[in-house]
A and B are shown apart, each in its own frame.
Chain A
């Protein structure tokens, strides 16, 4: 039996990689991928805890998160394409019309 702490280390590591990716990468597609990484860390947590507690709530939540991640990608890529059509950039630091 693998102890729950192993899963927690894995998910926290994934989460950290995701947060660092969002904060440091410039390409918006990669930022989107980093967000997906965070959501997958959440899923690992949920499924591991679901097994630990012996309840199905966590697994149900994980399915909802997967569906939500899919919807998020659809909206995100749609917005990115709309942006790309008007201005051919994918890097976050090149969109700079709005700033104080």
Chain B
């Protein structure tokens, strides 16, 4: 992989950005060929997106093989502004899988909404392109532009149902708070640059290490950066956008936003906190994270109990999951980081699985996002109801399902590092979460259906259900390979 095109861009650089290049090409390709399809052929756009995503996954695995071949733990490129390691490959593969499943569940849904345009799939690919740079970036500029590429695509996707007031409103709130938090984050980044004179995360860490702990400039940089980051992962008290954006967005996009961009945001947060701000861990961001994690679990779980809209309920449940994941970062040891990787992977499968069932409920005039719409699902489609039950049990963290695995490692890491109080507190909230997940189950199995006719599933939804179910059940029953993968993906 030596030699190259110029001093600033060699073959190695090109090799490392191929996933992003592929995404950009396929995204633009979809925009172009969209004109060639008439309205009944729009599913071809989804097919193109799926082919593109498969190529990206293949390319990521090639980069991984190259890494093993030269026996390097990481490959740096573009003048050290890009760093691809096992951590990056792992999180990017999770994002690709989440996008793949979201594309599968979108086709029928967008047809029913009469908004089946090519831009929809192109924006999903562009969003994924942003995630690639968020996950692999080692430079503040790369990280920030990656974040904005992802976020700007996300705002448009959330508001994609142009005729629907709720979609407009959710997207607008998502946009205003998202832009605000990006501003805060950029302010923190500018101060980090001021402290170190460099935009490279490792150089910043060295410069921060030489500062005294009460330095006002460093404190302000820490405060604004961490606030911006917590906004992006929707942790309380910076979560207000999430329920509105999730409820307003098309259901397929709600599934996408709560898994892909969330995984990328966590990789982004971990990269900045564990590499760039590593010297400020014990006196700086760790106490903040403890407080935020406790409040996040409390608000997320308690607010979810009172919801009657399933999308909103899942928004609060996703906020509470953010609380658990942050606890892994509070522990910060190897088990904790492994737990975060497992948790995010498993969460992507089980949450998208649940959203697939919600998407399947959309037909005719029924939007399918009220909790009553689930009533009697077992009598209308027993398979879908049983699968939904499995996803809900997994989300609650009941043992044979995969969801248990993530929580297990997080709690284990808390006990290993002596945070037993926090662990007990977190376990308590699992019981609360069981209540609202079971409320949906009661609806599905014990209520008479409002509509009598059986629920049919489109091919895309069948495949998506198969994939997510396999992920949730197989990882739960046979976790060994995933645990090994997550262990290799620990950020060092």
Contacts and interface: CB of A to CB of B under 8 A. Distances in A.
A binds B: yes
Contact of B191 (A32, A45, A57, A83): A45
B312 interface: yes
Given A28-B172, A61-B141, A83-B172, A52 B159 contact: no
A98 B248 CA distance: 8
B197 A79 contact: no
Interface stretch (B54-62, B175-183, B392-400): B175-183
B219 to A, nearest CB: 13
B152 A60 contact: no
A75 B150 CA distance: 13
B464 interface: no
Interface in B161-182: 162-166, 168-173, 175-176, 179-180, 182
Given A79-B175, A92-B176, A38 B169 contact: no
Interface residues of B, number: 45
B141 A55 contact: no
A35 B179 contact: yes
Given A15-B187, A52-B194, A100-B306, A61 B176 contact: no
Contacts of B176: 22, 28, 31-32, 35, 76, 92
Interface residues of A, number: 46
Contacts of A2: none
Contact of A57 (B165, B193, B307, B312): B193
Interface in A1-47: 8, 11, 15, 18-19, 22, 28, 31-32, 35, 38-39, 41-42, 45-46
A42 B145 contact: no
Contact of A35 (B145, B183, B190, B243): B183
A88 to B, nearest CB: 11
B155 A75 contact: yes
B212 to A, nearest CB: 18
Contacts of B34: none
A86 B180 contact: no
B179 A76 contact: yes
A78 B155 CA distance: 10
Nearest to B312: A100
Contacts of A85: 162
B85 interface: no
Interface string A77-100: 011101101110000100101111
A77 to B, nearest CB: 10
Nearest to A60: B141
Contacts of B186: 38-39, 42, 65
A98 B243 contact: yes
Chain A CB count within 10 A is highest, among B170, B179, B189, B193, for: B179
B187 A22 contact: no
B156 interface: yes
A45 B169 contact: no
A35 B182 CA distance: 9
B183 A53 contact: no
Interface in B267-323: 303, 306-307, 312
A52 to B, nearest CB: 7
A6 B156 CA distance: 39
A38 B248 CA distance: 27
Interface string B329-354: 00000000000000000000000000
B373 interface: no
Contacts of B193: 45-46, 49, 57-58, 61
A53 B203 CA distance: 14
A87 B170 CA distance: 13
A82 B148 contact: no
B199 interface: yes
Contact of A49 (B163, B169, B194): B194
Contact of A75 (B166, B175, B191): B175
Nearest to B160: A82
Contacts of A61: 140-141, 144, 189-190, 193, 199
Given A28-B176, A45-B190, A98 B183 contact: no
25 contacts: A8-B194, A22-B176, A31-B176, A38-B184, A38-B187, A39-B183, A42-B183, A42-B186, A42-B189, A45-B191, A45-B193, A46-B193, A49-B193, A52-B197, A55-B197, A60-B141, A61-B144, A61-B199, A71-B152, A72-B152, A79-B171, A80-B172, A97-B166, A98-B170, A99-B244
Given A46-B193, A72-B179, 8 more contacts: A28-B176, A42-B189, A42-B190, A65-B186, A68-B145, A79-B171, A79-B175, A98-B244
Instruction: List the 7 closest A-B pairs by CB distance, nearest first.
Output: A38-B183, A53-B197, A45-B190, A49-B194, A83-B168, A98-B244, A42-B186
Interface of A: 8, 11, 15, 18-19, 22, 28, 31-32, 35, 38-39, 41-42, 45-46, 48-49, 52-53, 55, 57-58, 60-61, 64-65, 68, 71-72, 75-76, 78-80, 82-83, 85-87, 92, 95, 97-100
